[in-house]
Structures are given as structure tokens and as C-alpha cells.
Amino acid sequence: MSHEDSRNALLDKDPTMETLRTPDERFENLPGYDFAPHYTQVPDGEGGGLRIHHIEEGPADGEPILLMHGQPSWCFLYRKMIPILVESGYRVFAPDLVGFGRSDKPTRRSDYTYARHVQWMSDWLSTNNLNGITLFCQDWGGLIGLRLVAAFPDRFARVVVANTGLPYASPITEEMAPSVRKIYESLPVVAHGELTERFAQKDGPPGFLYWRKFCAETKELPIGEIVGGLGTIPTPSEVRSAYEAPFPDASYRTGAHIFPSLVPMFPDDPELPANRAAWKVLAQFDKPFLTAFSDSDPVTAGGEAVFQKRIPGTKNQSHVTIPNAGHFLQEDNGEDCAATMIAFIHNNPA
């Protein structure tokens, strides 16, 4: 299918939600990525459907492992971990969130909401009927994946959280909100090369506000450069290009642009109550729960503390710090991430 044909195709001829589907040839000959595609159809919430892609590798009777990515990456991020996990006998599932990878990409920013992403992945999980899952989630993979754990706790046997969080309270009071919004509106759209420095700064507006502003307003979103730029080791150019593969042009990047704006920050955010309800479930979750944050992430440093404090399943676990890794620890040190999972499952048999 040509680029133009893909642009004009509407999934199931749905009149309300226009979607794009990245041509298959964009995923050919990517370094280290030789996985057959699998697809699941879910309702889009507007009377039509969406096709969600996932990798599915390993023996059919192996314990299931669910790997969930965040923004602006896709399941290519897990290419180093998957073979190691499969070799150890596990059945590995790595979906692409809607708007990313080989999954369908709604074209309007208004099509993307936090609640919709939870519902889409809930439908994906139920349709594939996974049980006894060990979840590994990073970035938005945690914001969505932990909501799945709370919604379907009986389906999950273990959880590993890495460089992620689940916001449950606004850091901004109602009195502060108008002035913070004004500050946000006045922020410049910095070059992507400055973002790491903004996250590290101790004075001035939080780095996340600059990241949110950058993604929402920049015309160019160099996804490969962003993934490489938040790492600790040089990322080869062919790998950076592979992260760009799902996005032939700007019209495919709507989800990547809008995701940071969906993170609950302000007290009137509609998903804060849902996240608080999820935390009530997680606060009773006594199945094995491991934190595996990296040693050099400017975005989520220290985020493991809230999990270790509030979730009973974290007790008596050998929590780890993944060395030599930035925000995208699967890219920088996927080998240690996989080894950590294998040891965690071995030490906590179902």
C-alpha cells in the first residue's frame, strides 16, 4: 500500500475517527528487529475499530510476559530483551500503543485521551485473554499498564516498574493553577537538545513543563534523536532511524505530540480520580512487585520510592538499579533489564 493510499484509508470506513496505518515496508530491514506482526481489533469508542499491533514470541505454553512501551517509542524498544526472555522459555507480548509503531494512528489530537488509551489496551488485554502475566512497564507503559493491573489484578502474577509513575495527586494547588498555566504558556519551545538540561535544572519551571511544551508545539518531533538524546551511550544512526519508521511524516505523529499533555498535572485533570482509584487497588496488591529504575534517568529519578512505600508486593524484594542507562533503559541496557526479569520470576514462582 502506498503512502498516499495509507493516508486516505479509513479503518472499517468509520465516518468519525480518521486513522492512518503505516505502510508495512517502513518496518523492513530494521536493525535487530525481525518479528512477525500480530494484530487485534478493538472498538475505537466512536462506533468504529482500531487495529493494535503486538509482537508475540516464544513457546505457546510459556509464562506470559507483557512489555509496555511509552512515548515517543514503540515496541522496537524491546528488541534486545525479547530474544533473551524467549530463550528462557517465556511467551513474550509487546504491543504498540495506539498512535505508535504498527498500530493505527488517529489523526486528531482530540482522539487521544488517557481514559481512551486505558480502554483500548483493556480491550486488547481481554481479547487476547492473557493470564498469569508478568508486566514490565516504562514511561507511559506504566501510566497505562498500572491502570490495567488495577482493573484486572487477577490477570497479573508479577509487576516490574521501570522509569515510570502513576500520578495520583496534583503537585499544583487550585490557587496556583492559574499562575502555573500562565508560566507554561509563556515558556519557549526549546531545542530538543536542551531538554535533558531542563530536566536536570533545580531552579525555574520543572523540566516536564518544557517537555510538554516542546512535544505539543514543535513542528518537528525528531523521535529518534529524542530516544538517543535521553540515553547514556551513543545510539547508532540506523537505530535512531528505526524509531522514526512508524512516522512517515508529521501527520502520523499526532499521538507522540499529545501524550505529555495527557499526564495529569493540574487539580482538575479528569484522570486523577481514576488514578487514585487505581492506587487503592495497588495499595492492596501483594503479589511480587519490583522496581528497576535506571541510574541515569533525568525524568523519573527517585520515582521508585512511592512504589516501595505504598505497594505491599514490594516488600522483601531485591529491588535493582539498572546501570549505565538513561530514560529508555531498554535501549541502553536491555540485557540487564531482561536478566532482572528472569531472576525476579525465578525468585518468585507462581
The CATH number of the domain holding residue 332 is 3.40.50.1820
Task: Give the pLDDT confidence score for residue 6 in this predicted structure.
Answer: 43
Q: Is residue 211 part of a domain?
A: no
Residue 77 falls inside a structural domain? yes
In a domain, 219, yes or no: no
User: Which structural domain, as residue segments, surrounds residue 47?
Assistant: 3-169+286-347
CA 195, distance to chain mean position in Å, is 19
Residue 188 neighbours by CB under 8 Å, 6+ apart: 213
What pLDDT score was predicted for residue 7?
39
* Each residue's pLDDT expressed in tens, for the chain with a length of 350 residues: 444 444 334 334 445 799 999 999 999 999 999 999 999 999 999 999 999 999 999 999 999 999 999 999 999 999 999 999 999 999 999 999 999 999 999 999 999 999 999 999 999 999 999 999 999 999 999 999 999 999 999 999 999 999 999 999 888 899 999 999 999 999 999 988 888 888 888 778 888 999 999 999 999 899 999 998 888 777 899 999 999 999 999 999 999 999 999 999 999 999 999 999 999 999 999 999 999 999 999 899 999 999 999 999 999 999 999 999 999 999 999 999 999 999 999 999 98
> In this predicted structure, what is the pLDDT of residue 347?
97
**What was the pLDDT predicted at 234?**
79
Number of domains in the chain: 1
Whether residue 13 is contained in a domain is answered as yes
pLDDT of residue 72: 96
Q: What is the pLDDT of residue 199?
A: 85
Residue-by-residue DSSP string for 10-56: -GGG-SS--EE---GGGGTTBTTB---EEEEEEE-SSSSEEEEEEEE
Q: In angstroms, rounded to a whole number, what is the distance separating the alpha carbons of residues 37 and 283?
A: 36
Give the pLDDT of residue 137. Answer: 98
Contact 345, 63 (CB under 8 A): yes
Distance from C-alpha of 349 to C-alpha of 158, rounded to nearest angstrom: 10
Closest Cα partner for 275 from 164, 147, 159, 181?
A: 147
SS3 (DSSP) at 160: strand
Q: For the purposes of burial, counting CB atoms within 10 Å of the CB of 102, is it exposed (0-12), middle (13-18) or buried (19 or more)?
A: buried
Residue 162, helix vs strand vs coil:
strand
Q: Would 147 be classed as within a structural domain?
A: yes
Cβ pair 148, 159 in contact under 8 A: no
Question: CA-CA distance, 300 to 90, in Å (whole number)?
Answer: 29
5: left (phi over 0), alpha (psi -120 to 50) or beta: alpha
Q: Is residue 153 part of a domain?
A: yes
Question: For residues 172 and 180, is the Cβ–Cβ distance under 8 A?
Answer: yes
Q: What is the pTM of this model?
A: 0.93
Q: Catalytic amino acids? A: 139, 297, 327
First to last CA, the chain: 45
- Asked whether residue 253 is domain-assigned, the answer is no
Question: Could you tell me if residue 65 is inside a domain?
Answer: yes
